[in-house]
């Protein structure tokens, strides 16, 4: 067993950017110290491992830390995608889930990837060919010698085009295995889950990626399927409306038909319930908290965008602050007449940043007592960090 330092191939990292920033396939990546174990498969497999973005897998430490769908929410869309993935054959082998930024696409794909993994359906959660080949070698071990043979035959394979890599490292190995001993479609993993395609460096590369994905499916003699999520950019719409992609794909618009308001309301109710039961300052909360109508107002201001709701909850749940005071700050800054979540995000973030500045000033004062001519009074400190009077000393235990 060997441990190597991995630096994702520059082309691979540029195209779907090997570091994980809010999606299964990530944003601008940094080189990380990552252990990839070749399990004694030899130097050729080590060569493949050097081109793997190992933190891109849905069950990597970074992605595992990302939020999944709140329990009891997004039921309809998750059930729809699970049923599609579990089918024995696919009328449409590509499902394009599209929706605006902040709508929760990445959270849904993280959740569905976990579901598919638990059901032994997830083949890969990262597109770039070396990473896909590595995950393929682990998911279908019989493909491993064919993948290693392709690398031995062309040591520069990782610098060739996406299509040439796909042909040599993914398509040919699966076909070879199937010709030797036909694969039982009920026994092997067959779903690719790809998020954040719109974070690719340019629209041409994004469209090329879609074409390569479709070519992979067309060349397989066994059923595979791909779930891809992105924003509804114009070039994606054009690509999915033309030629082979149009015939092979179905579209799933992540819109209000999935009743996001109901899910967001449940999310707020559960989170406020957790705060009442578990928060450090729960004993200072009124019996009937939050006030009547608060949740309805927050749901309306979320405009079916979970990004607004989750930001509000993280702000209020801060373990260092009184939730009642934090909620009051947000409600005072609110303008209930606004109807779009993204119009609300600027004032929401401005309010949050203003409280951070205040807390930072107090933190600096507390950490540098020698520069103060007199001690900071507990009541002053309590008021500044919006804690109940008399609880200032408890703050030092955070």
Per residue in 294-346, pLDDT (tens digit) is: 999 999 888 888 888 888 999 999 888 999 999 998 888 765 444 454 455 56
Same domain, 291 and 250: no
Same domain, 131 and 151: yes
Q: Note down the domain range covering 275.
A: 260-397
Residue linked to tokens 């081109």:
51
Distance between CA 242 and CA 328 in Å, rounded? 51
The domain total for the chain is 2
Q: Pairing between strand 122-124 and 249-253?
A: unpaired
* Token pair listed for 28: 């601008």
Backbone phi and psi for residue 23, each to the nearest 5 degrees, phi listed first: -155, 170
Per residue in 264-284, pLDDT (tens digit) is: 999 999 999 999 999 999 999
Same domain, 200 and 237: yes
Rounded to 5°, angle at Cα 130 from 67 and 88 = 65
Same domain, 172 and 275: no
The answer, yes or no, to whether residue 213 has pLDDT greater than 60, is yes
Distance between CA 227 and CA 53 in Å, rounded? 20
Q: Which residue has the higher pLDDT, 131 or 279?
A: 279
Listed residues 258, 281, 300: the one ending a domain: 258
85-89, 236-240, 329-333, 387-391: range with highest mean pLDDT: 236-240
The pLDDT > 90 percentage for the chain reads 13
CB 227 within 8 A of CB 259: no
Give the pLDDT of residue 276.
Answer: 95
Residue 386's pLDDT band, with cuts at 50, 70 and 90, is: very low
Distance between CA 199 and CA 290 in Å, rounded? 38
* Token pair listed for 196: 């954040």
Same domain, 147 and 11: yes
User: What CATH number is given to the structural domain containing 17?
Assistant: 3.40.50.300
Same domain, 284 and 301: yes
Distance between CA 265 and CA 308 in Å, rounded? 12
Distance between CA 111 and CA 258 in Å, rounded? 16
Q: Tell me the helix, strand and coil percentages in the chain, rounded to 5.
A: 55, 10, 35
Helices 294-302, 306-316: axis angle to 10 degrees equals: 140
Distance between CA 334 and CA 332 in Å, rounded? 5
* Token pair listed for 146: 């064919």
Same domain, 282 and 174: no
Q: 119: which residues sit within 8 A by CB, 6+ positions away?
A: 86
Same domain, 120 and 130: yes
Same domain, 189 and 296: no
> Chain centroid to CA 287: how far?
37
Nearest to 85 by CA among 109, 61, 53: 109
CB 344 within 8 A of CB 315: no
Listed residues 196, 226, 258: the one ending a domain: 258
Same domain, 90 and 189: yes
Cα-based distances in Å from 143 to 136, 138, 148, 177:
7, 9, 9, 6
Distance between CA 305 and CA 303 in Å, rounded? 5
The answer, yes or no, to whether residue 128 has pLDDT greater than 80, is no
Same domain, 267 and 203: no
- SS3 per-residue string spanning 91-141: CCCEEEEECCCCCCHHHHHHHHHHHHHHCCCEEECCCCHHHHHHHHHHHCH
CB 359 within 8 A of CB 315: no
């Amino acid at each position: 067993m060997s441990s190597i330092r991995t630096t994702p191939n520059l082309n691979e990292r540029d195209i779907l950017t090997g570091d994980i920033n809010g999606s299964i396939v990530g944003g601008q990546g940094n080189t990380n110290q990552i252990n990839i174990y070749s399990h004694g498969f030899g130097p050729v497999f080590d060569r493949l491992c050097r081109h793997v973005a190992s933190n891109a897998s849905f069950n990597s430490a970074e992605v595992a830390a990302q939020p999944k769908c709140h329990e009891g929410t997004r039921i309809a869309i998750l059930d729809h995608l699970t049923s599609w993935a579990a089918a024995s054959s696919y009328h449409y082998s590509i499902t394009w889930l599209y929706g605006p930024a902040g709508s929760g696409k990445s959270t849904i794909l993280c959740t569905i990837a976990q579901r598919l993994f638990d059901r032994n359906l997830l083949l890969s959660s990262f597109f770039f060919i070396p990473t896909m080949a590595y995950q393929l070698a682990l998911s279908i071990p019989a493909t491993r010698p064919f993948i290693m043979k392709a690398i031995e035959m062309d040591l520069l394979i990782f610098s060739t085009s996406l299509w040439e890599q796909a042909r040599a490292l993914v398509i040919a190995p699966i076909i070879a295995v199937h010709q030797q001993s036909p694969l039982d479609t009920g026994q092997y993993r067959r779903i690719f889950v790809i998020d954040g395609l719109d974070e690719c460096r340019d629209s041409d590369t994004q469209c090329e990626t879609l074409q390569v994905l479709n070519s992979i499916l067309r060349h397989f003699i066994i059923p595979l399927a791909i779930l891809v999520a992105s924003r509804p950019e114009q070039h994606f719409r054009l690509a999915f409306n033309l030629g082979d992609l149009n015939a092979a794909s179905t579209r799933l618009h992540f819109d209000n038909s999935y009743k996001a308001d109901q899910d967001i309301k449940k999310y707020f109710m559960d989170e406020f319930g957790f705060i009442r039961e578990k928060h450090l300052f729960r004993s200072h909360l009124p019996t009937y908290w939050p006030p009547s109508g608060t949740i309805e107002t927050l749901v309306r201001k979320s405009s079916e965008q979970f990004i607004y709701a989750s930001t509000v909850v993280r702000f209020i749940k801060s373990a260092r602050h009184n939730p009642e005071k934090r909620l009051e700050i947000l409600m005072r800054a609110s303008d209930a007449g606004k109807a779009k979540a993204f119009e609300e995000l600027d004032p929401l973030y401005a309010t949050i940043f203003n409280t951070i500045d205040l807390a930072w000033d107090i933190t600096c004062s507390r950490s540098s007592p020698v520069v103060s001519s007199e001690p900071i009074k507990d009541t002053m400190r309590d008021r500044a960090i919006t804690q109940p009077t008399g609880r200032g000393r408890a703050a030092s235990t955070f």
